[in-house]
Structure 1
Amino acid sequence: MSGSYWEQVRATGLLVPADRPLGDLTAELTRMLGDPDPDVRDGLAYPTLATWISRGVYDDLLTGLGDGMAAGLRVGLGESGTDTVFRRSFSALVLAECIARDNDRPLVPGGKVLEWGDRIATWLLRERDLRAFVPKRGWAHAVAHGADALATLAASPHVATPELTVILDVVADRVLTPTSTPYAHGEADRLARAVLAVLQREKVPLTVLEPWVARVGAPTTSPSPDAGNAEAFLRALYLQLALGPRPPAVRADLLLVLVDVLRQRNADFLARA
Structure 2
Amino acid sequence: MSTAYWDQVRSAEMAVPTDRPLPDLTAELTVMLGSTDPVERDETAYPILASWVSAGVYDDLLAGLGDGMAAGLTRGLGEVGTDTVFRRSFSALVLAECVARDNEHSLLPDTKILDWGDRIAGWLVRERDVRGFVPGRGWAHAIAHGADAISVLAESSHFGLNELTVLLDVIADRVLEPTSAPLSAGEPDRLARATMTILRRRLVPLRMIEPWLARITSAALAVVPADQDPFLTTANPEAFLRALHLQIALAPEPIGVRADLLLAVMDALRTTNRVHVLPPA
AA of the residue aligned to 2:19: D
Is structure 2 residue 260 aligned with structure 1 residue 260?
no
Q: Say if 2:115 is the partner of 1:95.
A: no
Shift in Å, 1:169: 0.4
- Equivalent residue for 1:123? 123
Structure 2 Cα separation of the partners of residues 156 and 190 of structure 1: 18
Matched, 1:220 2:222: yes
Equivalent position amino acid for 2:150 in 1: L
Please report how far the alpha carbon of residue 62 of structure 1 lies from its aligned counterpart in structure 2 after TM superposition.
0.5
Q: In the alignment, residue 185 of structure 1 is paired with which amino acid?
A: A
Q: Distance in 1 between matches of 2:23 and 2:110?
A: 25
Matched, 1:105 2:102: no
Q: CA offsets, 1:11-50, max 9 Å, x none?
A: 1010000000000000000000000000000010000000
2:200·2:254 contact (CA, 8 Å) conserved in 1? yes
Contact 2:133 2:139 in 1 (8 A): yes
Other-structure match for 1:50: 50
| Alignment of 1:184 onto 2:184 | yes
- Is residue 131–residue 181 contact of structure 1 (8 Å, CA) maintained in 2? no
Q: Does 1:211 align with 2:211?
A: yes
Q: What are the Cα deviations for residues 94-130 of structure 1, in whole angstroms up to 9, with x where unaligned?
A: 0000000100111111110010000000000110000
What does residue 237 of structure 2 align with?
230
Question: Matches of 1:272 and 1:262 in 2, distance apart?
Answer: 16
Alignment gaps of 5+ in structure 1: none
**Percent of paired sites with the same residue:** 63
Q: Does 1:64 align with 2:64?
A: yes
In the other structure, the counterpart of 1:29 is 29
TM-score, length of structure 1 as denominator length: 0.98
Aligned counterpart, 1:142: 142
> In 2, distance between residues paired with 1:87 and 1:93?
10
* Deviation of the 1:4 alpha carbon: 1.0
For 2:23 and 2:277, the matched residues in 1 are separated by 58
Q: Please give the per-residue CA displacement for 1:161-186, whole angstroms capped at 9, x wherever unaligned.
A: 01100000000000101111211111
Task: Provide closer, same or farther for how the CA distance between residues 59 and 272 of structure 1 changes in structure 2, counting only shifts above 3 A.
Answer: farther
SS of residue matched to 1:77: coil
Q: Which residue of 1 aligns with 2:168?
A: 168
Aligned length in residues? 273
Q: Over aligned residue pairs, what C-alpha RMSD do you find?
A: 1.1
